Amino acid sequence: MLNSHIHLDFDNVNSPSSSTTGVIIPSTGKDNWDSVIACCHSNDNSYFALGIHPWFVKDHQMIDLHDLEVRIEEEKPIAVGECGLDYAKVKDQNTQRFFFDEQVALATRFDLPLIIHSVHATEDVTDLLKSYSKSRGVIHAYSGSLQQAENLLKINFSFGFGTSLTNPHAYKLHDIVKFLPIESIVIETDDRKNPDELIQVAERVARIKKITVDQVIEQCDQNTFNIFKIS
């Protein structure tokens, strides 16, 4: 079972048990590019992404985007991310949009998928992605509306779901999972302390989709392989 988004380099995140057969470790900015790369050097079936998270754009400058480009060329990440827009947490929308736009441009230039963080900003995220016809990837920890999911599906983006889906009262998220084709869904635990909660996410998807947990795991693994071109 693959975990499509886990911050394994964070001190508060435990290592998963052997039920997890592979992980994708996104970075949050220049301060942890080295540590996510190091995490993957010591582990087979661990893959890193390089990017600048919207929470941390304030700690970055133009030159860091140039460094990011150089690191992508040298280190060959499987994706650019995580990057995106978070209008709930970060007030300066222009700076966020600038850094996100530049990273979408980088991803398309290197033909890489994006790992996107989007909170209260899904309209703007979608508009920006639409302006790059070759952009592709995952909206991780999806929290937008059903209508917005439909729009993102039209441009072939996939959707990451984590432990918030396991809340029995998360009706809106459950409806979105019900609506989405299983081929567009991947599972994750993000910065949760216990990454073995991943199985509970798979179980919830299975219950919503009325298929077996094994089918969910097999399909979500395949989706992750396809999006990130790993195997």
Dihedral sign of CA atoms 121, 115, 32, 17 in order = positive
Q: Compare residues 9 and 102 and give the one whose CB is closer to Zn ion.
A: 9
Residue closest to Zn ion (Cβ): 190
Q: Shortest approach of Zn ion to residue 137 CB, angstroms?
A: 13
- Measured CA to CA, the distance from residue 212 to residue 34 in angstroms comes to 39
Q: What share of the chain is helix, strand, coil (3-state, %, to 5)?
A: 50, 15, 35
DSSP secondary structure, 206-223, as one string: HHHHTS-HHHHHHHHHHH
Site stretch for Zn ion (CB under 5 A), options 42-50, 101-109, 173-181, 186-194: 186-194
Binding of residue 86 to Zn ion (CB under 5 A)? no
Please state at what angle helix 171-179 crosses helix 198-209, rounded to 10 degrees: 70
- Per the annotation, does 41 bind a ligand? no
Report 116-175 residues binding Zn ion (CB under 5 A): none
- Per the annotation, does 66 bind a ligand? no
Q: Compare residues 126 and 189 and give the one whose CB is closer to Zn ion.
A: 189
The burial class, CB within 10 Å (0-12 / 13-18 / 19+), for 167 is exposed
Site stretch for Zn ion (CB under 5 A), options 56-64, 96-104, 127-135, 190-198: 190-198
Binding of residue 190 to Zn ion (CB under 5 A)? yes
- The footprint of Zn ion (CB under 5 A) covers 190
State the binding site for a divalent metal cation: 5, 7, 82, 117, 140, 190
